[in-house]
Amino acid sequence: MNAFDGLRLYEIVMLVLGIVLFITTIVLMVYLITRKRSIKPLTYLFLLSIVMMGFPAISKIQFQGAVVDLKNRVEGERSTTPDSTVREPLDSAKRVMLQNEIHAVLERPVSDPEVLVTVARGQALLGDTSAAFKFVDSALVTNPRFRSATTFRQMLTAKRPDTDRVRF
């Protein structure tokens, strides 16, 4: 998984600028220590740099939690129906929970093929095969040799043979 996957542009900028500020503060601290001056004013810069680096890290952890929740829900639904050809429709409560988890993941920018395939599996469980194809194709654009994506795409194609005419 990419280190910046799930982070918005302003969070990436905050992270990079926080790192630059932290390094600059360390350099200033060494300079002030060699000149035998007080380093008290630098504490605010240290705190600011830590906050600037910490906010994107917390956002990344929340994104990872949403991905894990979605993955567990999809795997749980797949394990309850081992025969993929005979699948009972989801009841309304499970459907709403799955939609919410997919929405929570898609609120953030996603480029990891594994996450995209998990979203595609969730969309397929919801019965939205066109959205499932869209996410599987996005995963295959990112990594054309991703085995899980190719396998799932073949499974979707086998269920719906007219997919060659579908445009995204």
Mean pLDDT by 10 residues, the chain (168 residues): 79 94 96 93 93 90 86 77 54 85 88 90 87 90 88 82 43
Q: Evaluate whether residue 17 is within a structural domain.
A: yes
Q: Evaluate whether residue 23 is within a structural domain.
A: yes
| pLDDT of 82 | 47
| pLDDT of 164 | 46
| pLDDT of 81 | 52
| pLDDT of 92 | 80
- Tokens 């795409």: give the residue: 153
140 within 8 A of 34, measured Cβ to Cβ: no
| pLDDT of 160 | 63
Helix (H, G, I), strand (E, B) or coil at 90: coil
Q: Tell me the whole-structure pTM to 2 decimals.
A: 0.72
| pLDDT of 80 | 56
- Count of domains for the chain: 1
Q: Which helix (H) or strand (E) holds 25?
A: helix 9-34
Q: Evaluate whether residue 3 is within a structural domain.
A: no
25: containing domain: 9-165
| pLDDT of 162 | 52
DSSP labels, 97-157: HHHHHHHHHHTS----HHHHHHHHHHHHHHT-HHHHHHHHHHHHHH-TT-HHHHHHHHHHH
Task: Report the greatest alpha carbon distance in the chain.
Answer: 76
SS3 content of the chain, % helix, strand, coil (to 5): 75, 0, 25
| pLDDT of 78 | 67
Q: Evaluate whether residue 116 is within a structural domain.
A: yes
Q: Evaluate whether residue 103 is within a structural domain.
A: yes
152 within 8 A of 120, measured Cβ to Cβ: yes
Q: Evaluate whether residue 2 is within a structural domain.
A: no
CA dist 112 and 109 (Å) reads: 9
| pLDDT of 79 | 61
| pLDDT of 22 | 97
Q: Evaluate whether residue 83 is within a structural domain.
A: yes
